[in-house]
Amino acid sequence: MTDLSDRPAIKKAGRWSRRQLLQLGIAGAGVAGGAIAFQHLTRKPTSVARIPPMPADAPTVSNINPMQIARDFDYGTVTRENGRTVREFRLEANTSIVQLNSAVTFNTWNVNNRVPGPTLRATEGDRIRVIFYNKAGHSHSLHFHGVHTSEMDGVKPVKNGSVFIYEFDANPYGVHLYHCHIAPVTRHVGKGLYGMFIIDPPKPRPPADEIMLIMGGYDVNDDEKNELYAFNGLPNYYMNNPISIYKNQLIRLYVLNLIEYEAAVTFHLHANFFDVYRTGMTLTPSERTDVITMGVAERHILEFTYGYDGKYMFHPHQDAIAEAGCMGVFEVIA
């Protein structure tokens, strides 16, 4: 069995990961907020992504910190093999109890003790190696969206206590996902065993404040309906803890709908419009709107900029779903 004891611990709340800062070009403690030149620019040559500091008081609940998760991208352990980049990810299926609100706890099945699991990120053409260790007590699997062989499709059960290594090329670029594909999939996904898988295009997108949002649902009484909903794991978290963004800064949302038991939901942004890059598979937007319909597993890149300070909600416009926890706020600051 593969020794996973050196798996990096879940990143502590309270600061962005070094990898993320590197990606933004602001690694090094003293230069946050400074103007750093980016190498690959496609729009404004002088533009720099400005990102507010991680708030010190954003709470972690049951090992889940949605404020951290929103801007936390896992690029894996990088090596070179036969002249190409290999990104290795160590993912564990776990079982853990999550406090969804003051009254409700829920037994999740998850990846790396968090819902959603890590946001995996690579560049098109990289080799992806996922060492999947199932410690969750039931059979699970990881099914990645993308192009790969049948045996890497992640529909075969990986028994509790065993390891399976998924290996494939990162292709094509876009916003993708991974999730357990053991029947009933509604239950395995609904209990939290999923995450986002972003493949960047060979020429990077322009600098932006990048934020990841996954819409999920919780069937807390096993009636095959959801009673609670959430962005990034915890109901109403971003209502109580708004995501700060800067005025006049390009925001790039990576949004995924993984709400089971609902055919589709929408995503709506207040007091603004966004450019839609469907499935993240284009470099130019296909439309501009303020509400977009997303079926289960559908995902997009949405880009926008706010010109006014203040608080602005985002939520599915199925308002009952929003009011049951899938609701958040951007706080635009100068």
The yes or no reply on residue 115 touching Cu ion (CB under 5 A) is no
The nearer residue to Cu ion, 193 or 255, going by C-beta atoms, is 193
Report the distance separating Cα 222 and Cα 289, nearest Å. 36
Residue indicated by tokens 């933004």: 24
Residue 260 DSSP SS3: coil
The nearer residue to Cu ion, 42 or 107, going by C-beta atoms, is 107
Interface residue with Cu ion among 121, 127, 129, 140 (CB under 5 A) is 140
Cβ contacts of 101-105, under 8 Å, gap ≥ 24: 101/228, 101/235, 101/236, 101/325, 104/220, 104/227, 104/228
Closest approach, Cβ 29 to Cu ion, in A, equals 40
The nearer residue to Cu ion, 185 or 333, going by C-beta atoms, is 185
Nearest Cα to Cα of residue 312 among 238, 258, 231, 259: 238
For residue 64, the cross-strand partners are 61
The nearer residue to Cu ion, 63 or 160, going by C-beta atoms, is 160
The yes or no reply on residue 64 touching Cu ion (CB under 5 A) is no
Strand order across the 251-258 sheet: 228-231, 209-218, 251-258, 299-304, 274-278, 287-289
Q: Which amino acid does the sequence have at 64?
A: I
Size of the site for Cu ion (CB under 5 A): 5
Interface residue with Cu ion among 143, 145, 176, 188 (CB under 5 A) is 188
Q: Which amino acid does the sequence have at 201?
A: P
Question: Contact 125/90 with Cβ under 8 angstroms?
Answer: no
The nearer residue to Cu ion, 140 or 176, going by C-beta atoms, is 140
Closest approach, Cβ 222 to Cu ion, in A, equals 16
Question: Contact 225/219 with Cβ under 8 angstroms?
Answer: yes
The nearer residue to Cu ion, 118 or 316, going by C-beta atoms, is 118
Closest approach, Cβ 167 to Cu ion, in A, equals 20
Task: Please choose, out of 19-27, 34-42, 56-64, 192-200, the segment that lies near Cu ion by the rule CB under 5 A.
Answer: 192-200
Binding mask 282-301 for Cu ion (x = CB under 5 A): --------------------
Tell me which residue has its CB nearest to Cu ion. Answer: 180
Report the distance separating Cα 43 and Cα 254, nearest Å. 19
Q: Which amino acid does the sequence have at 184?
A: P
Residues 6 or more apart in contact with residue 102 via CB below 8 angstroms? none
Task: Please choose, out of 97-105, 147-155, 193-201, 217-225, the segment that lies near Cu ion by the rule CB under 5 A.
Answer: 193-201
Q: Which amino acid does the sequence have at 69?
A: I
Task: Please choose, out of 122-130, 132-140, 201-209, 227-235, the segment that lies near Cu ion by the rule CB under 5 A.
Answer: 132-140
The nearer residue to Cu ion, 114 or 140, going by C-beta atoms, is 140
The yes or no reply on residue 70 touching Cu ion (CB under 5 A) is no
Q: For residues 236-275, which are near Cu ion according to CB under 5 A? A: none
Q: For residues 143-182, which are near Cu ion according to CB under 5 A? A: 180, 182
Go through the chain and tell me how many residues it has: 334
Contact residues toward Cu ion (CB under 5 A) are 140, 180, 182, 188, 193
